[in-house]
């Protein structure tokens, strides 16, 4: 029997196409999107530190292209994707995850796009990704309990000499002394 968690409604990443951007593309776009509602930040607390590679793998599985080398801080992660919909033109979404090596139990995410509704929804979706990240972390913390190892076998006892006289086998004194 399998136990599967199904999360509804469908998340925004169904409409995403990962796109890797260069620093020449990223920074002008990042700077042009100045503050809310086009650029939103959220601090996520209570996470167990993951390596940036593990974090990048989670983002890649969520249809975000990780763009290595764009952030001068090696503890940060930048990702990008294009959102496609029927009502608006394809929209570039930029994500920056900042981690603090001194306190890796929290991270700050910043999401930016040219559409305020998309940015808000995407923050929610990135929160879902961070939730996935937190769930993944919890799974990494879970250990299946194992039975303690069996005790080492006792060294064999030296053989006790048994009396050769059959009457000695029923002697109450010998029985009480535990000699038999």
The token pair that represents 174 in the structure block: 């010998």
pLDDT at residue 143 is higher than 50: no
Q: Provide the whole-model pTM.
A: 0.58
pLDDT greater at residue 106 or residue 7:
106
pLDDT of residue 133: 40
CATH topology of domain 12-139: TATA-Binding Protein (3.30.310)
Task: Go through 109-133 and write b for each residue having 16 or more CB atoms within 10 A of its CB, e for each that does not.
Answer: bbbbbbbeebbbbbbebbebbbebb
How far is 82 from 65, CA to CA, in rounded Å? 10
pLDDT at residue 136 is higher than 80: no
Strands 65-66, 91-100: parallel, antiparallel or unpaired by DSSP? unpaired
pLDDT at residue 124 is higher than 70: no
């Amino acid at each position: 029997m399998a136990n599967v968690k199904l999360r509804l409604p469908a998340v925004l990443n169904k409409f995403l196409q990962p796109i890797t951007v260069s620093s020449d593309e990223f920074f002008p776009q990042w700077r042009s999107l100045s503050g809310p509602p086009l650029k939103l930040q959220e601090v996520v607390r209570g996470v167990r530190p993951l390596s940036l590679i593990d974090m990048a793998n989670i983002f890649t599985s969520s249809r975000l292209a990780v763009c290595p080398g764009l952030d001068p801080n090696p503890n940060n992660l930048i990702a990008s994707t294009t959102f496609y919909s029927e009502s608006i033109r394809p929209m570039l979404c930029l994500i920056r995850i900042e981690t603090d090596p001194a306190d890796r139990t929290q991270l700050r995410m910043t999401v930016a796009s040219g559409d305020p509704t998309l940015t808000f929804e995407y923050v929610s979706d990135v929160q879902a990704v961070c939730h996935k990240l937190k769930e993944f972390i919890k799974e990494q913390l879970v250990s299946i309990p194992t039975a303690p190892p069996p005790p080492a076998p006792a060294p064999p006892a030296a053989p006790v000499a048994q009396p050769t006289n059959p009457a000695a086998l029923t002697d109450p004194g010998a029985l009480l002394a535990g000699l038999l």
